[in-house]
Structure 1
Amino acid sequence: MSDISIEIFPALEGDCFLVSMGSEHKVNILIDGGYKETYYNHLKPRLKQMNQNGERIDLVIVTHIDADHIEGIIELLKENGSSEEANVIQIYEIWHNSYKHLQFFKDSKEELDYREKTILTSKIAQGYIGNKNTDEDHNQNEDISAKDGSTLAALIYEGKYNWNTSFNENSISIENKKKINLNENVVIRLLGPNNNSLKKLNKYWLKELRKEKYDFKLTEDELFDDAFEFYMLNQKNIECLNENEEISSRSSIDEIDCLLKQKNVLDRSPVNGSSITTVIEYKGKKLLFLADSHPQLVDEQIQQLVDQIGYIPFFELIKVSHHGSRKNTSIELLDLIDSPNYVFSTNGKKHNHPNEETIARIISREIPSNLEKRELIFNYFFKNELFCKEEIQQRYNYSISLPNGELTKVLKI
Structure 2
Amino acid sequence: MIHIHILPALYGDSFFIQSKDESFSFLVDCGYKRTYFNEIRKLTKSVNFIILTHIDEDHILGAIPLVDDIPEKFAVGKVYLNTPDLITADKKSGNISVLQAVSLQEILAEKGIDQLSLVQGDEVIVSNDCKIFVISPSNIELNHLELHFREYKEKKPDYTPVSVPSGNLDSIDDLSKRKDSFKSKRSDFVNASSIAFILYYRENEVLFLGDSHPTVVEDYLRSMGYNESQKALFDYVKLSHHGSINSISLGLISIIQCSKFIVSTIGGRSNNKHPSRETLCKLVVHVDRGLDEFITFIFNYPVEQYEARNGKYFSAEELAEYKIKMIYKKTLELE
Shorter-chain TM-score bucket reads: 0.7 to 0.9
User: Unpaired runs of 5+ in structure 2?
Assistant: none
1:95 aligns with 2:95: no
Sort the Cα spacing of 1:31 and 1:249 in 2 relative to 1 into closer, same or farther, 3 A.
Answer: farther
- Matched with 1:406 is none
Sort the Cα spacing of 1:251 and 1:270 in 2 relative to 1 into closer, same or farther, 3 A.
Answer: same
The alpha-carbon deviation at position 98 of structure 1 amounts to: 2.4
What SS class does the counterpart of residue 75 from structure 1 fall into?
helix
What SS class does the counterpart of residue 11 from structure 1 fall into?
coil
Question: Quick check: 65-74 or 267-276, which moved more?
Answer: 267-276
CA distance in 2, matches of 1:184, 1:352: 40
1:334-349 correspondence runs (5 A): 334-349=253-268
1:158-169 correspondence runs (5 A): 158-164=110-116
Q: How many residues align?
A: 321
1:371 aligns with 2:292: yes
CA distance in 2, matches of 1:156, 1:305: 35
Higher gyration radius (CA): 1
Give yes or no for contact 2:253–2:287 (8 Å, CA) kept in 1: no
Give yes or no for contact 1:178–1:189 (8 Å, CA) kept in 2: yes
1:196 aligns with 2:117: no
Residue-by-residue CA offset, 1:112-161 (whole Å, 9 max, x unaligned): xxxxx9xx59x44xx52569xxxxxxxxxxx9968xx9611112211211
What SS class does the counterpart of residue 172 from structure 1 fall into?
coil
Give yes or no for contact 1:388–1:400 (8 Å, CA) kept in 2: no
Give yes or no for contact 2:66–2:74 (8 Å, CA) kept in 1: no
Give yes or no for contact 1:317–1:340 (8 Å, CA) kept in 2: yes
Give yes or no for contact 1:186–1:280 (8 Å, CA) kept in 2: yes
Sort the Cα spacing of 1:391 and 1:36 in 2 relative to 1 into closer, same or farther, 3 A.
Answer: same
What SS class does the counterpart of residue 387 from structure 1 fall into?
coil
1:185 aligns with 2:134: no
The alpha-carbon deviation at position 372 of structure 1 amounts to: 3.6
Give the TM-score normalised by the residue count of structure 1: 0.70
1:293-308 correspondence runs (5 A): 293-306=212-225
The alpha-carbon deviation at position 67 of structure 1 amounts to: 0.6
Letter in 1 for 2:63: I
- Matched with 1:222 is none
- Matched with 1:64 is 54
What SS class does the counterpart of residue 392 from structure 1 fall into?
helix
User: Unpaired runs of 5+ in structure 1?
Assistant: 49-55, 81-85, 103-116, 132-142, 165-170, 209-231, 404-408
Match of 1:259 among 171, 175, 199: 175
Question: Quick check: 324-333 or 39-48, which moved more?
Answer: 39-48
Match of 1:29 among 26, 29, 48: 26
Residue-by-residue CA offset, 1:65-103 (whole Å, 9 max, x unaligned): 1110000011100122xxxxx223321121011224x9x
What SS class does the counterpart of residue 53 from structure 2 fall into?
coil
Give yes or no for contact 1:15–1:345 (8 Å, CA) kept in 2: yes
1:396 aligns with 2:322: yes
Q: CA RMSD in A?
A: 3.0
What SS class does the counterpart of residue 88 from structure 1 fall into?
coil
1:41-60 correspondence runs (5 A): 41-48=38-45, 56-60=46-50
- Matched with 1:172 is 118
Give yes or no for contact 1:47–1:88 (8 Å, CA) kept in 2: no
Give yes or no for contact 1:348–1:354 (8 Å, CA) kept in 2: yes
Residue-by-residue CA offset, 1:8-35 (whole Å, 9 max, x unaligned): 11111110111223x3353212000001
Structure having the higher strand fraction is 2
Sort the Cα spacing of 1:325 and 1:264 in 2 relative to 1 into closer, same or farther, 3 A.
Answer: same
1:9 aligns with 2:7: yes
- Matched with 1:228 is none
CA distance in 1, matches of 2:257, 2:192: 22
Letter in 2 for 1:336: I
Give the TM-score normalised by the residue count of structure 2: 0.85
